[in-house]
């Protein structure tokens, strides 16, 4: 008999990572900066918060006493994971904007206990998040295949590998709320293309509530959210050779009662001009001028159902925490 080969640790053998960014994220940042900082009301999309430091700041936000969405969503998952597992019979979980997949473990545990779980596919624009999360989960769930996709879920969903059996596509945290209504429906239509008749979308949405609770969640006493907000300026400084001083800007978080969304903005403390060298772009700010960095839409059941229907999806379950702060919806392709 041939001497046995040393066995590959399972964690290494079961991980595959595909990257679809190859410099295209920097190009998208350049396009977004050129487009967004030359508008009459300056604006940037929130996906550029999340370099390694931004991702770490987001994790700290999730621990803040004022930021209830993470705790509320976790509570719903803990309450409903077994039911979700039974309803879906999922053999695989695709997670969009997976981050550290902290809450995802609750769902993976339930699928694992049911004996159906085979594969986890985290999709995130932050490379280090996908790699670290893939490593950690392959260790924690022996036998689990992890296929990480480093990419932009607005542009690379066609790169998600085809389903090998009933799947759940999870979009947690309320990240869908970071898109304005039109783009939100476009993103949902793209996500619906990942689903077959046996598959489900599990999506987290923050709910409309007292504006004081909402504004505190986005303007915490420790200033972590302010630091997260200013991080987009550090990203532009590094990636596009700009010279923003983040301390030239105040953090602003306000609830827009008409649109029922939170807006985060950066307000210039003084008049100044910054050069974005890679774009040869001088950007002028008047004193008090604001740059919108994020919207975070809050939902009612009606708003969510309208968005799902527009994407060809129908609601299977609507799950909330006891205080009705946050909702998880399970939906599938519409039968009509
Ligand atoms: N799902 C986690 C993390 C939410 S934070 C939770 O519920 O706590 C939002 C995550 O989405 C970050 O990890 C960020 O890197 C990722 N993200 C934001 N925009 C993205 C995009 N356009 N494409 C892919 N990932 C994106
Ligand atoms: C990721 N996303 C759902 C968060 C939110 O609440 O809109 C990002 C965030 N912004 C400020 N705090 C948290």
Q: pLDDT of the chain along its 336 residues, tens only?
A: 444 455 444 444 599 999 998 766 667 899 999 999 999 999 999 999 999 999 999 999 999 999 999 999 999 999 999 999 999 999 999 999 999 999 999 999 999 999 999 999 999 999 999 999 999 999 999 999 999 999 999 999 999 999 999 999 999 999 999 999 999 999 999 999 999 999 999 999 999 999 999 999 999 999 999 999 999 999 999 999 999 999 999 999 999 999 999 999 999 999 999 999 999 999 999 999 999 999 999 999 999 999 999 999 999 999 999 999 999 999 999 987
Q: Ligand 1: does its nearest atom lie under 6 Å from the Cβ of 329? A: no
Protein residue closest via CA to atom 4 of ligand 2? 175
Q: How far does residue 270's CA lie from ligand 1's centre (Å)?
A: 32
Contact 329, 304 (CB under 8 A): yes
* Ligand nearest to the backbone CA of 154: 1
Compute the distance between CA of residue 144 and CA of residue 92 in angstroms, rounded to an integer.
Answer: 10
Protein residue closest via CA to atom 4 of ligand 1? 173
Q: Ligand 2: does its nearest atom lie under 6 Å from the Cβ of 229? A: no
Indicate the top mutation candidate among 49, 50, 61 to test ligand 2's pocket, ranked by most ligand atoms within 8 A of CB. 61
Q: How far does residue 174's CA lie from ligand 2's centre (Å)?
A: 7
Q: Ligand 2: does its nearest atom lie under 6 Å from the Cβ of 293? A: no
Q: Which atom of ligand 1 is closest in space to residue 171's alpha carbon? A: 1
From first CA to last CA, the distance across the chain in angstroms is: 61
Compute the distance between CA of residue 32 and CA of residue 155 in angstroms, rounded to an integer.
Answer: 14
Q: Ligand 2: does its nearest atom lie under 6 Å from the Cβ of 299? A: no
Angle at 126 between CA 156 and CA 223, to 5 degrees: 130
- Residue-level pLDDT at 22: 74
Compute the distance between CA of residue 108 and CA of residue 102 in angstroms, rounded to an integer.
Answer: 11
Q: Which two tokens stand for residue 82?
A: 């077994």
* Ligand nearest to the backbone CA of 72: 1
**What residues pair up with 84 in beta bridges, in sequence order?**
none
Burial class (CB in 10 A: 0-12, 13-18, 19+), 229: buried
Place of tokens 């999922």: 90
Q: How far does residue 175's CA lie from ligand 2's centre (Å)?
A: 7
Q: What is each CA distance from 248 to 254, 271, 285, 289, 290, in whole angstroms?
A: 19, 9, 10, 11, 12
Compute the distance between CA of residue 85 and CA of residue 273 in angstroms, rounded to an integer.
Answer: 54
Compute the distance between CA of residue 113 and CA of residue 108 in angstroms, rounded to an integer.
Answer: 8
Q: Ligand 1: does its nearest atom lie under 6 Å from the Cβ of 50? A: yes
Element at 171 (helix H, strand E): strand 167-171
- Exposure class string for 262-295: b at 16+ Cβ within 10 A, else e: bbbbbebeeeeebebeebebebebeeebbbbbbb
Nearest-10 Cα torsion for 213, 216, 217, 218:
130
Q: Which atom of ligand 1 is closest in space to residue 54's alpha carbon? A: 15
Contact 126, 53 (CB under 8 A): no
Q: Which atom of ligand 2 is closest in space to residue 217's alpha carbon? A: 12
Q: What is each CA distance from 330 to 69, 88, 299, in whole angstroms?
A: 18, 9, 15
Q: Which atom of ligand 2 is closest in space to residue 296's alpha carbon? A: 7
Protein residue closest via CA to atom 7 of ligand 2? 296
Q: Which two tokens stand for residue 184?
A: 């939100």
Q: How far does residue 97's CA lie from ligand 1's centre (Å)?
A: 3
Element at 272 (helix H, strand E): strand 272-276
């Amino acid at each position: 008999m041939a001497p046995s080969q040393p066995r590959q640790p399972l964690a290494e053998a079961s991980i595959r990572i595909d990257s679809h960014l190859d410099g295209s994220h920097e190009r998208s940042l350049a396009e977004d900066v050129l487009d967004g900082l030359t508008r009459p009301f300056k604006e940037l999309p929130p996906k550029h918060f999340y370099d390694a430091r931004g991702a770490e700041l987001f994790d700290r936000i999730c621990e803040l006493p004022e930021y209830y969405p993470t705790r509320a969503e976790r509570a719903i998952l803990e309450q409903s994971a077994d039911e979700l597992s039974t309803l879906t019979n999922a053999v695989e979980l695709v997670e969009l904007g997976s981050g550290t997949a902290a809450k995802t473990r609750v769902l993976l545990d339930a699928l694992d206990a049911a004996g159906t779980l085979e594969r986890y596919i985290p999709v995130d624009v932050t490379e280090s998040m996908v790699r670290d999360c893939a490593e950690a989960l392959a260790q924690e769930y022996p036998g689990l295949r992890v296929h990480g996709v480093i990419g932009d879920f607005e542009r690379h969903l066609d790169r998600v590998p085809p389903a090998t059996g009933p799947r759940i596509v999870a979009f947690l945290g309320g990240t869908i709320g970071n898109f304005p209504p039109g783009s939100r429906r476009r993103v949902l239509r793209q996500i619906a293309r990942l689903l077959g008749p046996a598959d489900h979308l599990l999506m987290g949405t923050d709910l409309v509530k007292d504006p004081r609770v909402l504004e505190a969640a986005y303007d915490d006493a420790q200033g972590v959210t302010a630091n997260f907000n200013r991080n987009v300026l550090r990203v532009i400084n590094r990636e596009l050779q700009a010279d923003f001083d983040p301390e030239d800007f105040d953090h602003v978080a306000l609830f827009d009662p008409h649109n029922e969304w939170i807006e985060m903005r950066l307000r210039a403390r003084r008049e100044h001009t910054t050069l974005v060298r890679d774009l040869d772009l001088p950007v002028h700010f008047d004193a008090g001028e604001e740059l919108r960095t994020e919207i975070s839409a809050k939902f009612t059941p009606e708003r969510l159902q309208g968005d799902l229907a527009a994407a060809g999806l129908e609601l299977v379950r609507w799950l909330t925490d006891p205080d009705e702060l946050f909702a998880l919806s399970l939906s599938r392709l519409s039968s009509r």
